[in-house]
């Protein structure tokens, strides 16, 4: 059965226990006993009665008590055996005789009791000692039968305390396991008698007696875990469930028979009977123990088996008796006539409080072992808990507090067995008392709230309430009700903040923090899978496969909760229109498509919130379907072994009995049939049940209707029910019991309509016990956050509201911190469960408390913010949430940004808030430049051009605040102001505001997008209202932050780009004057492109196209920033030239560079970029060739800067021909034939654009530039053999470039603008030399063309023009000499190559004639010089001569041929 477990730490009223080894030797133990004998004898000798010898005529000289003590003294030193082999009765008996004797006085009895106590504490008596069982029984019998003469009150109290001391030592000794159930009950009974008697004694005895009683109970119930489960079978003395309207249990407390009333106190002449509870404790008629023998059983029904169990070693039986006795002390309420409609009861708190404290100790020590003993468990489930429910409504805060403590212990140890009992306790006690509208006093409310908070602090309490009750269809929503109570109780409505508000807030935060801890320790799904019932199933019959496995029960309870919610909606629809309500449930698959009676009956029976009037009307209808529903409805009740009136009460509580007699009859017939089926013991048939039910209804109306003046008596009721039981009378006792039950407790035929917190009537309690036997198992939750998503969705809104109101009304910093802890817990849970809306609401609420959004002057917030603890704590919390849970913030970013903007306006932000991780590297790389970097995001960098610089940075703002730069000097700041400012700085440094943006790369995509949109909205709002410098500064700051997060999130640029581009575009196109905003927009755009191009080549075109916004700048804005723009373009090109591949991208770059060609300040930077790309063709590509050639031409034409730069630009153009040659060679080697041809055509087009560019520059007013352009053009026209240009392209070149250039130069020389052109003669000479040189180089190919004659005549025409040109009104002698010479050389070459031959040549007649016709206009003598007159033979054989010339010319050395061509070209 197990060793008794001694509980250390419970040492009151005990002397220090001696250690065993201190008395290990026999001599030592003998000496101790000898000393105790001497002590007793010494006290006895003080008394005259014991101090004299008896007369000689007596049989003995000394009294037997003294003789026995002296005899023991003689023996103790002669014992040779070990002490555990000696019968303890031998050395205890003399002391016990003294204790039993009624001749001894209080001092002698007290010393004897002390001696016994010392012997017990020697630990020489244990379970292995010889005859220990009889010795322990003898000791208990002697002590509990103690008699003594009282000489004074003090000595009496001493003896009573020593009795308590010895009895407690018995229970704590090692031999206590040998005590029987009967003797343990006797010990408890004796202790309780002393407790009762101490009521008339001193305070010390009272306290010691109660404490000893508590120690006894704790000692006894600590033994429960060692008790065998099969030790005790049900005995007749253990009450089973009493199925009656009122519980009137008589206590059965085991004790032995006491002689003459026990413990006679001669001091007051009063005999202490077993009637333990006097009128001082309770009212008359309360519970007590009779003077007569109290048996284990109840009266005559006790059996010999019960008596045998009582004599066995103590265990469950005595514990049951103790529980019965303690509950009997509580049952006094039954005799007090408590009004069932009152919310609370008034009672003397002393006795019940004492009994409750003992019950609490028993449950604490018994703990979970109680569940292994069905008898104990059944008693706790029913009788004990029912008493707790009743005393929970006590007006005494002490009793209520103790009841709540007991229920908390029961929750910890037995909650799996008390599911419905816990529901009833919270619904009928806690929720009723904690709300003032139910008539509870403030003290009751406070105690109830404290108890609720204690429950909330239990790790899994709320989860288990939700899973077991809120998700169980027939049960009430306890979790929702408790959470609603806490949130509402935390609201200080029209009253200052009180301790009750803070208490409720603590409970609310405990619930939230529990969710937060579970969320942190477990992986949480982002959202719950929604349920969708596809077909009808009887929901009241669904069960879970495994209530201990979360993978099974979690989906099960969620499904039940979904069904419960749909049923609530259906109930609401039913209450408005029953037909539509049923149709709704059919559509939701909660009722079958074709209604059946069972499903409708179960809907009525198990759905809360239905209108009971409508249920009654439906059940009373005469149609067949309604009758079937009524029958099924009645069959949902369990009336097994239940009294008729109790069954009728339960039945009528579920609906309102209809008023029509026919409907009443149908309803009662269904009830009677069901009742008789389950309880046929007394009634002969169902008709008897029907008649008696009618009779009870009439009796109820008669007794409780105020309009009935003459009430029915008991005799009347019995007479009215004669011969109804199958022609026989019902037992008179049966009818009398029914009569008095109705008399005391009315059957309410108009039940409460959906009462949230109903009272617990006896009939409801019986129904609860029955339901508890059938309800679903209690689900135990671990630390997993399985249901927290659903629970938090319910409580989050009220929680945030309650926290906000308390935070707003609080004035204590500790309360502030409590609220902040709650806010952070809400944020944590919202993030873990991905409840973005909740987190946004939280941020909105918190931002209101920062005071940063309140309109105020500049000075006020700066000083007040440092002193306002609430504002600082709220601000810190806002930014903590932003940094920790930013992934799940959506619209809340707008409020956060408003706070940041306000801090920025005050100059309180760290200098690097808008910077990103690579800013330092860029700054260090640019320190060598002479000009400042203007596109940095730091607000402390270069101010906008031509704009006055506003104070920026922290010290600048503070200096502005101190008015150091104002016209009117102001007083210096006070020490308080400086201290407040310092506190503000220290606080804001801890906020880590910069981390929000620098760590934005870790934000989820949706949150990042919302952050960017919030920045854009804020900037747009400030931009529209930019009437003040603060608004403009704020818009700039928002833009800086936007660019910062764009750069930080380069891997997600696609997500942000469109919004960023649209915002910058809006700024660029709406700005007409230079300002900081457009400056940040333009250069921020450059930074984005520069930083992202190396990583996002697929977006290169998109990024570079965005730079076209710069081309849309207003002229004034563009002029102000042109130099800086050019520098940025240069940096962009130098850093990313290798990453720009497309023509579109390069087009944007060259467009920007071309604009700078004519800008005095920007052209140098622009040309540097051009030089970087085109030098050695390093970065020239087919995609950008034409673009850069055109840009170079514009720089060549630009007159900004020195002419050398134009010349350099022309050289870049001329050198670019090498790139064309290289590409042509590479294409020929690497590409297929078709691709090579296509590439060749492209190269030809590029070359044509190049020479066209030169043609334009050849018209430049500057002599050096145009002459260099002519020479460069000549180079490009003559060194292009590797390009394999087509004939058609060359013809285009002559028409579009050479002839056009010559014509334009001729026109300039002849025109009015020649005064702007210096030394045009030299230019014309160069141009004229270029013409024959190119013509003769191409002559072999061009001469084969059909258009050759046209081309040749064009050459001759330009020569003729230049021959006759007049410069400044005078002919040019140099040209007059040069042109004939060039023409002659050309003709000679043409003659030599056989192109120009006499008209007798084939196909040459027209060429010959047209040539000489034109030549004669220039130099008539050239024909004779080139073709002197020949003989007629020669003329006749011109063709042969031509062939000879051709042959001979072929023999001419190459050097000689070159000299001819050179002469023709002026060379």
- What are the catalytic residues? 660
Instruction: Dig out the tokens for 390 from the structure.
Output: 């009743």
Neighbours of 1071 (CB within 10 A): 19
Residue 1366: helix, strand or coil by DSSP?
Answer: strand
| Residue 543 tokens, joined | 């069960």
d(CA 563, CA 1230): 74
Q: What is the CA radius of gyration of the chain?
A: 57
Q: How many CB atoms lie within 10 A of CB 314?
A: 26
Rounded CA-CA distance 969/650 in Å is: 87
Written as one string, the DSSP assignment of 1010-1034 is HHHHHHHHHHHHHHHTTTSHHHHHH
Burial of 1447 (0-12, 13-18, 19+ CB in 10 A): exposed
CA distance linking residue 1439 with residue 1301, whole number of Å: 38
Q: Write the burial class of residue 911 (CB in 10 Å: 0-12 exposed, 13-18 middle, 19+ buried).
A: middle
Task: Supply 103's token pair.
Answer: 């001749």
Q: Which two tokens stand for residue 763?
A: 């009939």
Three-state DSSP at 1081 gives helix
**Which of 386, 388, 366 lies closest to 376, judged by CA?**
366
Nearest to 807 by CA among 780, 826, 784: 826
User: Tokens 């205890």 — which residue?
Assistant: 92
Backbone angles phi, psi at 235, to 5 degrees: -110, 165
Which residues lie closer than 8 Å to 255 by C-beta, 6 or more apart?
A: 182, 185, 186, 189, 274, 289, 294
> How far is the C-alpha of 361 from the C-alpha of 402, rounded, in Å?
11
What angle do helix axes 153-172 and 181-197 make, rounded to 10 degrees? 150
d(CA 472, CA 1201) in angstroms, rounded, equals: 89
Question: Under the phi-then-psi rule, with left for phi > 0, alpha for psi from -120 to 50, and beta for the rest, what region is 299?
Answer: left
Task: Indicate the angle between helix axes 1029-1048 and 1053-1070, nearest 10 degrees.
Answer: 150
Q: At what angle do helices 644-652 and 762-772 cross, to 10 degrees?
A: 90
Question: How far apart, in whole angstroms, are the C-alpha atoms of residue 1126 and residue 285?
Answer: 107
Residue showing tokens 């050179």: 1462
Angle between helices 869-885 and 836-849 (to 10 degrees): 150
Is residue 1187 within 8 Å of residue 1170, measured between CB atoms?
no
Q: Which long-range contacts (CB under 8 A, 24 or more apart) does 1106-1112 make?
A: 1106/1061, 1106/1064, 1107/1148, 1107/1149, 1107/1152, 1108/1148, 1108/1151, 1109/1064, 1109/1065, 1109/1068, 1109/1069, 1109/1082, 1109/1085, 1110/1068, 1110/1082, 1110/1085, 1110/1152, 1111/1151, 1111/1152, 1111/1155, 1112/1068, 1112/1069
Tell me the C-alpha to C-alpha distance, in Å, between residue 645 and each of 651, 935, 1170: 10, 90, 106
Identify the CA nearest to 451 among candidates 487, 399, 382, 381.
399
Judge whether 325 and 182 are in contact, CB under 8 Å.
no
CB 874 within 8 A of CB 849: yes
The residue with tokens 């600082």 is 872
Whether 599 contacts 506, CB under 8 Å: no
């Amino acid at each position: 059965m197990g060793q008794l477990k001694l509980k250390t730490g419970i040492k009151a009223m005990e002397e220090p226990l001696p250690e065993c080894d201190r008395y290990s030797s026999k001599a030592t133990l003998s000496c101790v006993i000898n000393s105790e004998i001497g002590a007793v004898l010494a006290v006895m000798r003080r008394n005259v009665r014991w101090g004299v010898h008896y007369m000689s005529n007596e049989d003995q000289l000394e009294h037997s008590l003294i003789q026995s003590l002296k005899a023991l003294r003689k023996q103790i030193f002669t014992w040779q055996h070990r002490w555990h082999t000696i019968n303890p009765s031998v050395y205890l008996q003399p002391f016990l005789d003294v204790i039993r004797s009624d001749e001894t006085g209080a001092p002698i009895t007290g010393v004897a009791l002390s001696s016994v106590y010392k012997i017990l504490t020697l630990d020489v008596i244990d379970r292995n000692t010889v005859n220990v069982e009889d010795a322990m029984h003898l000791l208990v019998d002697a002590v509990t039968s103690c008699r003594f003469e009282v000489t004074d009150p003090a000595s009496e109290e001493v003896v009573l305390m020593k009795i308590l001391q010895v009895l407690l030592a018995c229970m704590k000794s090692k031999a206590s396991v040998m005590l029987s159930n009967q003797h343990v009950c006797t010990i408890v009974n004796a202790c309780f008698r002393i407790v009762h008697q101490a009521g008339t004694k001193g305070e010390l005895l009272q306290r010691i007696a109660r404490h000893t009683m508590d120690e006894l109970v704790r000692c006894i119930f600590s033994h429960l875990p060692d008790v065998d489960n099969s030790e005790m079978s049900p005995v007749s003395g253990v009450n089973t469930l009493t199925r009656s309207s009122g519980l009137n249990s008589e206590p059965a407390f085991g004790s032995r028979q006491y002689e003459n009333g026990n413990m006679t106190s001669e001091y007051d002449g009063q005999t202490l009977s077993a009637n333990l509870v006097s009128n001082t404790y309770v009212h008359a008629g309360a519970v007590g123990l009779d003077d007569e023998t109290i048996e284990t059983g109840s009266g005559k029904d006790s059996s010999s088996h019960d008596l045998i169990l009582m004599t066995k070693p103590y265990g469950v039986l005595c514990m049951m008796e103790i529980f019965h006795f303690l509950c009997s002390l509580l049952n006094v309420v039954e005799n007090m006539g408590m009004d069932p409609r009152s919310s609370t009861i008034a009672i003397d708190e002393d006795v019940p409080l004492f009994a409750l404290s003992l019950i609490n100790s028993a449950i604490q020590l018994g703990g979970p072992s109680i569940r292994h003993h069905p008898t104990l468990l059944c008693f706790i489930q029913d009788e004990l808990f029912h008493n707790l429910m009743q005393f929970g409504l006590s007006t005494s805060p002490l009793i209520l507090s103790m009841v709540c403590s007991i229920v908390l212990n029961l929750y910890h140890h037995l909650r799996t067995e008390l599911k419905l009992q816990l529901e009833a306790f919270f619904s009928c006690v806690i929720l009723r008392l904690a709300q003032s509208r139910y008539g509870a006093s403030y003290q009751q409310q406070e105690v109830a709230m404290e108890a609720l908070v204690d429950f909330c602090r239990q790790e899994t309490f709320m989860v288990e309430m939700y899973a077991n009750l809120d998700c169980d269809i027939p049960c009430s929503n306890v979790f929702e009700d408790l959470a609603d109570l806490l949130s509402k109780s935390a609201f200080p409505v029209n009253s200052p903040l009180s301790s009750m508000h803070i208490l409720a807030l603590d409970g609310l935060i405990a619930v939230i923090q529990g969710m937060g801890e579970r969320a942190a320790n477990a992986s949480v799904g982002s959202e719950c899978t929604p349920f969708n019932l596809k077909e009808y199933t009887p929901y009241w019959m669904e069960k879970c496969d495994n209530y201990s496995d979360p993978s099974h029960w979690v989906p099960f309870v969620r499904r039940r909760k979904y069904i419960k919610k749909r049923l609530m909606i259906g109930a609401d629809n039913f209450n408005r229109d029953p037909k539509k309500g049923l149709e709704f449930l059919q559509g939701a698959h909660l009722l079958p498509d074709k209604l059946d009676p069972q499903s409708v009956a179960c809907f009525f029976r198990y759905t809360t919130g239905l209108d009971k009037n409508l249920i009654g009307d439906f059940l009373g209808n005469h149609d067949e379907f309604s009758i079937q529903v009524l029958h099924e409805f009645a069959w949902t009740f369990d009336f097994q072994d239940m009294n008729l009136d109790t069954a009728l009460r339960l039945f009528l509580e579920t609906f309102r009995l209809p008023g029509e007699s026919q409907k009443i009859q149908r309803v009662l017939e269904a009830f009677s049939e069901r009742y008789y089926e389950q309880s046929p013991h007394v009634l002969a048939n169902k008709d008897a049940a029907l008649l008696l039910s009618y009779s009870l209804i009439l009796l109820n109306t008669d007794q409780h209707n105020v309009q009935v003046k003459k009430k029915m008596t008991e005799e009347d009721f019995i007479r009215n029910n004669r011969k109804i039981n199958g022609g026989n009378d019902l037992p008179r006792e049966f009818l009398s019991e029914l009569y008095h039950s109705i008399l005391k407790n009315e059957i309410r035929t108009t039940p409460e309509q959906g009462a949230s917190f109903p009272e617990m009537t006896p009939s409801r309690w019986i129904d609860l016990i029955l339901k508890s036997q059938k309800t679903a198992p209690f689900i135990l939750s671990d630390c997993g956050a399985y249901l927290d998503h659903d629970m938090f969705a319910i409580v989050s809104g009220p929680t945030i509201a309650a926290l906000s109101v308390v935070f707003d009304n609080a004035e204590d910093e500790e309360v502030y911190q409590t609220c902040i802890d709650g806010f952070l817990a809400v944020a944590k849970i919202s993030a873990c469960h991905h409840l973005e809306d909740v987190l946004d609401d939280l941020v909105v609420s918190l931002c209101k408390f920062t005071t940063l959004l309140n309109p105020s002057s500049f000075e006020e917030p700066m000083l007040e913010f440092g002193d306002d603890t609430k504002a600082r704590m709220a601000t810190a919390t806002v930014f903590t949430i932003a940094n920790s849970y930013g992934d799940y913030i959506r619209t809340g970013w707008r409020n956060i940004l408003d706070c940041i903007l306000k801090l920025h306006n005050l100059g309180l932000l760290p200098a690097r808030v808008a910077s990103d991780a690579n800013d330092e590297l860029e700054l260090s790389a640019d320190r060598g430049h002479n000009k400042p970097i203007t596109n940095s995001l730091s607000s402390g960098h270069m101010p906008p051009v031509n704009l006055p610089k506003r104070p920026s940075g922290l010290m600048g703002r503070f200096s502005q605040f101190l008015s150091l730069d104002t016209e009117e000097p102001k007083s210096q700041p006070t020490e308080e102001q400086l201290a407040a400012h310092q506190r503000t700085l220290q606080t804001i440094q801890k906020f880590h505001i910069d981390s929000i943006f620098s760590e934005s790369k870790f934000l989820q995509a949706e949150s990042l997008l919302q952050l960017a949109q919030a920045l854009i909205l804020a900037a747009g709002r400030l931009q529209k209202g930019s009437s003040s410098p603060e608004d403009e500064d704020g818009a700039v700051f928002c833009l800086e932050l936007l660019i910062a997060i764009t750069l930080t999130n380069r891997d997600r640029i696609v997500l942000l780009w469109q919004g960023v581009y649209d915002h910058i575009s809006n700024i660029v196109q709406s700005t007409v004057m230079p300002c900081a905003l457009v400056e940040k927009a333009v250069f921020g755009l450059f930074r984005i492109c520069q930083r992202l191009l190396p990583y996002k080549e697929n977006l290169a075109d998109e990024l570079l196209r965005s730079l076209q916004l710069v081309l849309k700048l207003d002229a004034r804005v563009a002029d102000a920033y042109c130099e800086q723009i050019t520098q940025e373009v240069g940096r962009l090109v130098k850093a990313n030239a290798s990453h720009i591949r497309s023509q579109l991208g390069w087009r944007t770059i060259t467009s920007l560079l071309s604009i700078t060609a004519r800008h005095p300040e920007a052209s140098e930077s622009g040309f540097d970029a051009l030089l970087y790309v085109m030098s050695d063709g390093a970065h020239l590509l087919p995609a950008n060739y034409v673009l850069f050639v055109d840009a170079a031409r514009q720089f060549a034409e630009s007159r900004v800067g020195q002419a050398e730069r134009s010349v350099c630009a022309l050289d870049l153009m001329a050198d670019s021909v090498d790139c064309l040659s290289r590409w042509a060679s590479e294409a020929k080697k690497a590409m297929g034939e078709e691709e090579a041809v296509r590439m060749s055509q492209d190269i030809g087009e590029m070359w044509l654009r190049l020479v066209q560019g030169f043609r334009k520059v050849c018209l430049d007013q500057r002599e050096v530039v145009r002459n260099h352009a002519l020479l460069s053009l000549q180079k490009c026209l003559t060194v292009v053999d590797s390009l394999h240009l087509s004939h058609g392209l060359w013809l285009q070149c002559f028409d579009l470039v050479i002839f056009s250039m010559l014509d334009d130069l001729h026109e300039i020389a002849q025109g009015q603008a020649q005064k702007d052109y210096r030394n045009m003669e030299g230019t014309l000479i160069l141009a004229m030399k270029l013409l024959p040189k190119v013509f003769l180089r191409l002559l072999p190919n061009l001469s084969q063309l059909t258009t050759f004659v046209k081309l040749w005549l064009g050459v001759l025409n330009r020569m003729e023009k230049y021959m006759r040109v007049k410069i400044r009104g005078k002919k040019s002698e140099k040209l007059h000499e040069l042109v004939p010479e060039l023409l002659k050389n050309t003709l000679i070459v043409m003659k030599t190559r056989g192109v120009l031959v006499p008209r007798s040549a084939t196909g040459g007649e027209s060429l010959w004639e047209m040539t000489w016709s034109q030549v004669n206009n220039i130099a008539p003598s050239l024909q004779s010089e080139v073709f002197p007159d020949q003989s007629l033979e020669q003329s006749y054989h011109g063709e042969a001569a031509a062939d000879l010339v051709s042959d001979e010319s072929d023999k001419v050395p190459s050097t000689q041929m070159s000299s001819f061509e050179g002469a023709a070209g002026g060379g």
